[in-house]
Amino acid sequence: MNSYMAMQSDSSAGSYDFAALGEESGELERLQLQARRSAELELQLLRRMGLKDGLDVLDLACGPGVITRLIAESHPSSRVTAMDLNEALLEQAKSEAVAVGLNTIHFVQGDVYQPPLPEASFDFIYARLLFQHLDQPIKALDQVRRLLKPGGCLCIMDIDDDWLTLVPEPEGFRAFTQAAARAQAKQGGNRRIGRELGRLMQQSGFVNVHLNVETITSRQLGMRAFLDITLGFKRLLLQGDELEAALRTLADADALIDAPDAWALVGVFLATGEVSSE
């Protein structure tokens, strides 16, 4: 999950605080796994959404930078900028880029509500698993729109938990996902943001808005990776009796790893919109 790194102590921002999770949470590893397993598929989708070589590109809330590096490596004529609020994740992204010889990415620490970037600087902005964490999505969209050149494109990739399915479904699975959604909502997030993206972009003034849903399955990622990616963060949201119930459900879900006829799928929402060139 490349997500908005919200500083809960201050904030107007949303439901994800990487620093608060701690090193023992395994969250960094989950973020990296999530991006690496879906990277090639994600690149194909981004190209369908309008990404091409030679553009000025912003990876908004870049996290550990896996997708940033993929964009830079596959589009060598593009000028790529990566922004994240969390300093530790940004440093991780920088060091990994240097390790593979990518010295052209421009890294910026910044808040999506007040991005420290000049207006009309980018042809293509990608926001990956960011908007589910924002308590003020329209404010964020207004700021992002300001950063785009006339005719520039914003591409948002995010989730809607109603599209998350395990077959066979473990006992308590729906109660678990609903509890996680309630917990995230209390912190300003929205685990059903996918269905709302088109409407929100139109409200912010984007034109030529489109919304697509791609189905990602356990056969593409592997069941172990699928479960880690889609369920790991939800567990971190819970505590007390809800966490105890969740751990039982997750143990049942783990049994699907060795079940050859088990399937899991999730709908990934891709919304695009442009800044008017008029």
In this prediction, residue 214 carries a pLDDT of 93
Given a cut of 70, whether residue 22 has pLDDT beyond it is: no
In this prediction, residue 278 carries a pLDDT of 75
Most confident of 62-66, 160-164, 234-238: 160-164
With the CA atoms of 136, 137, 141 and 143 taken in that order, what torsion angle do they form, in degrees rounded to the nearest 10? 20
Beta-bridge partners for 165: 265
In this prediction, residue 232 carries a pLDDT of 85
Stretch 174-201: mean pLDDT, rounded? 96
- Return d(Cα 145, Cα 273) in angstroms, integer: 9
Stretch 204-230: mean pLDDT, rounded? 94
In the three-class reduction of DSSP (H, G, I as helix; E, B as strand; rest coil), residue 226 is classed as helix
Find out whether 122 and 274 touch, Cβ atoms under 8 Å: no
Find out whether 144 and 119 touch, Cβ atoms under 8 Å: no
Per-position b or e across 264-275, b if 16+ CB within 10 A of its CB: bbbbbbbbbbbb
Q: What percent of the chain has pLDDT over 70?
A: 86
Given a cut of 80, whether residue 11 has pLDDT beyond it is: no
Local confidence band at 17 (pLDDT 50, 70, 90 cut-offs): low
- Return d(Cα 214, Cα 46) in angstroms, integer: 12
Is the torsion defined by CA of 112, 116, 120, 124 positive or negative?
A: negative
Given a cut of 50, whether residue 81 has pLDDT beyond it is: yes
Given a cut of 60, whether residue 207 has pLDDT beyond it is: yes
Nearest Cα neighbor of 226 from 234, 235, 216, 236 is 216
In this prediction, residue 235 carries a pLDDT of 87
Q: Which pTM value belongs to this model?
A: 0.88
Please provide the size of the chain in residues.
Answer: 278
Give tens-digit pLDDT for 220-244.
989 998 998 899 889 889 999 999 9
In the three-class reduction of DSSP (H, G, I as helix; E, B as strand; rest coil), residue 51 is classed as coil
- State the residue for tokens 């695009």: 272
Given a cut of 70, whether residue 6 has pLDDT beyond it is: no
Please state the separation of Cα 256 from the chain's center in Å. Answer: 25
In this prediction, residue 28 carries a pLDDT of 59
Given a cut of 80, whether residue 109 has pLDDT beyond it is: yes
Local confidence band at 42 (pLDDT 50, 70, 90 cut-offs): confident
- Return d(Cα 48, Cα 163) in angstroms, integer: 22
Please give the residue that has the higher pLDDT: either 233 or 78. 78
37-41, 77-81, 266-270: the lowest-pLDDT one: 37-41
In this prediction, residue 251 carries a pLDDT of 96
In this prediction, residue 24 carries a pLDDT of 53
Stretch 151-155: mean pLDDT, rounded? 98
Residue 32 CB partners (closer than 8 Å, separation 6+)? 64, 66
Given a cut of 60, whether residue 263 has pLDDT beyond it is: yes
Residue 80 CB partners (closer than 8 Å, separation 6+)? 57, 58, 59, 68, 71, 72, 104, 105, 106
Q: What is the pLDDT of the chain when averaged over all its residues?
A: 88
